[in-house]
Chain A
Amino acid sequence: MKFTATVGVAGYGAYVPAFRIKGEEISRVWGDAAPVREKSVPGPDEDSLTMAYEAAREALEMAGVRPEEVGAVLVGSESPPYAVKPSATVVAEALGVTPRVVAADLEFACRAGTTAMILVAGLVASGAIRHGLAIGADNAQARPGDELDYTAGAGAAAFLLSGDRSRLLAVLEHAYSFVTDTPDFWRREGESFPRHAHRFTGEPAYFRHVVSAARGLMEEAGLKPSDFDYVVFHQPNVRFPLRAAQLLGFREEQVKLGLLAGEIGNTYAAASLIGLARVLDHAKPGQRILVVSFGSGAGSDAISLVTTEVVGSRKSSLERLLARRAYVDYALYAKQKALLRVA
């Protein structure tokens, strides 16, 4: 996909909760080796919606756009606080962008954030709206002791997309989506925790979709791995994105900056977008970035961006959020994730 009119990132925000649990602490309780050094843990008063708001407010402030000028708010998440009742309305109301706004929730496991970006970019590029917010946010749930319990994190990232060229920190060049019906991970209605198909989540799911979307974009756009300064993959752990990079012919240096899974775990719909925020915080003008998400079920979005001369003039609070770390043990983790029944 190519956008026919200019659309890009005028502001962005990232959010990571204050709390962390070390992989070794989870191993102490459940006995397996942890695939990440530590992961983020939400406070007891946080959910995907509150994190979405924090990231979105930062994006709005960075862009210098007035709330009433925002024409769309799409919240991508697989962990909305309500089964039925949109998170987007609360986020929009709190931001002050209601009521004249296209607002909705998107669900596509860990992919919904980038899909929100493509949809908002389409609205902006078509001229239907001037600015729009695309948000990926999750407070990932995992059955205690499950493989996912070692990595399921919490975080959010938001991108204020705009057609005003002078405001843009990065311009969206191309997008490519690759979607199939692949049941690698799911959660049925009324269930508290998702289920997954173990090794089936790897080759036929993550790798097939990530690699296909990235190759598809590069073929369509006439680009090759060396044309990119940075690449950010969906990161359920540290190993998968490094392996995907290898399969596609990217060097480790291109991946490292946007790879945060070892520190914050898998933040699901926010994962690749927090990585992108990290890269934008450090990128220089004229650099090209590839973002490839993955959502179980399954699908990947690949998006390429080129930074403008003003990138870096405004930065997110991500580094400060990453630096603030309060460690919890598994008992506090269980309390904060509401895994303990008290009422």
Chain B
Amino acid sequence: MVWVESAPRAWREGTRRYRLIGGKCPSCGGLVYPHRQVCPYCGREGLEAVALPRRGRVVTYAVVRNPPRGFEGREPYVIAVVELEGGARVLAQLTDVRPEDVRVGMEVEAVFRRYREQSPSGVIEYGVKFRPAI
């Protein structure tokens, strides 16, 4: 269960989550995920929406053993900061890998996976996770 079930929230973020849509700053060149109105680094408005590269490397990771609401029964699982080719950093789950096999620097690629159910009868939320590159 999430705090507040909301179909509009899942719907609104869908495209950015499904297609890894980031924002590129025309001023400082900063790349952020997800796409947003304003560059967090230089304050420039009007970031360009770009589909980010689907491959990258693990910068750091952690193993979640006490999951929050919505992720019960999935533990243990791995969350990681992935630096994509081009430099955008994405926080995402790693998948298809055992926690003990994850390494900093590991090459990973994007896949489309289920993240959580808002409730057992609620909306299913999907998004990009990363698996060891094959």
Known: A50-B111, A342-B72. 18 other contacts (CB 8 A): A17-B96, A43-B113, A45-B93, A45-B113, A46-B113, A49-B126, A50-B112, A50-B114, A53-B112, A90-B18, A93-B14, A93-B15, A94-B19, A94-B112, A94-B126, A96-B19, A324-B134, A335-B73
Would you call A320 and B134 a contact (CB within 8 A)?
A: yes
A6 to B18, CA, bound (A): 34
**What CA separation (Å) do A230 and B77 show in the bound complex?**
42
User: Are B134 and A46 in touch, CB under 8 angstroms?
Assistant: no
Interface membership of B8, Cβ < 8 A: no
Pick from B72, B115, B126: contact of A90, CB below 8 A.
B126
Least distance between A226 CB and chain B CB atoms (Å) = 38
Is residue A54 contacting chain B, with contact meaning CB distance below 8 A?
Answer: yes
Q: Is B68 an interface residue (CB 8 A)?
A: no
Per-position binary interface string of chain B over residues 77-88, scored 1 when its CB falls under 8 Å from any chain A CB and 0 otherwise: 000000000000
Closest 6 CB pairs of A and B: A342-B73, A94-B18, A18-B96, A45-B113, A53-B112, A343-B72
A-B contact pairs, 22 of them (CB 8 A): A18-B96, A43-B95, A43-B96, A43-B113, A45-B93, A45-B113, A45-B114, A45-B129, A49-B126, A50-B111, A50-B126, A81-B124, A90-B18, A90-B126, A94-B18, A94-B126, A317-B134, A320-B134, A335-B73, A338-B73, A343-B72, A343-B120
- A321 in contact with B134 (CB, 8 Å): yes
8 Å CB contacts to B: which residues of A79-104?
Answer: 81-82, 90, 93-94, 96
* Docked complex Cα distance between A45 and B14 (Å): 17
Quote the shortest CB–CB distance from A59 to chain B (angstroms).
14
How many interface residues does B have (CB within 8 Å)?
22
- A96 CA / B50 CA spacing, docked (Å): 13
Residues of A within 8 A of B (CB): 17-18, 43-47, 49-50, 53-54, 57, 81-82, 90, 93-94, 96, 317, 320-321, 324, 326, 335, 338, 340, 342-343
Residues of chain A with a CB closer than 8 A to B44's CB = none
- Which B residues are in CB contact (< 8 Å) with A18? 96, 131
Inter-chain contacts of B134 with A (CB < 8 A): 317, 320-321, 324
Q: Does B74 contact A (CB under 8 A)?
A: yes
Interface of B is mostly: mixed
| Distance to closest chain A CB from B17 (angstroms) | 9
Contact with A along B94-114 (1 / 0, CB 8 A): 011010000000000001111
Known: A317-B134, A324-B134. A46 touches B19 (CB 8 A): no
Interface of A is mostly: loop
| Chain B residues, Cβ within 8 Å of A96 | 19
Among residues of B, the one whose C-beta sits closest to the C-beta of A15 is B111
A326 cross-chain contacts in B, Cβ below 8 A: 96, 98
Q: How far is the CB of A85 from chain B (nearest CB, A)?
A: 9
Nearest CB in chain A to that of B126: its residue: A90
Distance, CA A342 to CA B70, complexed state (A): 11
In the bound complex, residues from chain B placing their C-beta under 8 Å from that of A53 are 112
Note all chain A residues with C-beta closer than 8 A to B114: 45-47, 50, 81
B122 to chain A, nearest CB (A): 11
A residues in contact with B19, CB < 8 Å: 94, 96
Are B111 and A54 touching (Cβ within 8 A)? yes
A283, chain B: closest CB distance, angstroms: 23
Residue of B112, B114, B115 ringed by the most chain A CB atoms within 10 A: B112
Which residue, of A49, A54, A94, has the highest number of chain B Cβ atoms within 10 A? A94
Within the complex, what minimum Cβ distance (angstroms) separates A92 from chain B? 10
Which chain B residues lie closer than 8 Å to A82 at the CB level? 124
Contact assessment for B18 and A45 in the assembled complex, using a CB-CB cutoff below 8 Å: no
Mark B2-15 against chain A: 1 for CB-CB distance below 8 A, else 0: 00000000000011
How near does chain B come to A96, taking the closest CB pair, in angstroms? 6
By beta carbon, the residue of chain A nearest B115 is A45
Q: Which residues from B are CB-within-8-Å of A335?
A: 73
Q: Is the Cβ of B14 less than 8 Å from the Cβ of A50?
A: no
Query: Chain A contacts of B14 at CB under 8 A?
Result: 93
Residue of B nearest to A317 (CB): B134
Chain A minimum-CB-distance residue to B21: A96
Measured CA separation A326–B132 after assembly (Å): 13
Q: B1: nearest residue on chain A (CB-CB)? A: A343
Residues B112 and A93 in contact, CB atoms below 8 Å apart: no
Least CB distance, B109 to chain A, in whole angstroms: 11
Kindly report which residue of chain B lies nearest to residue A44, judged by CB atoms: B74
Which residues does chain B contribute within 8 Å of A81, judged by CB atoms?
A: 114, 124
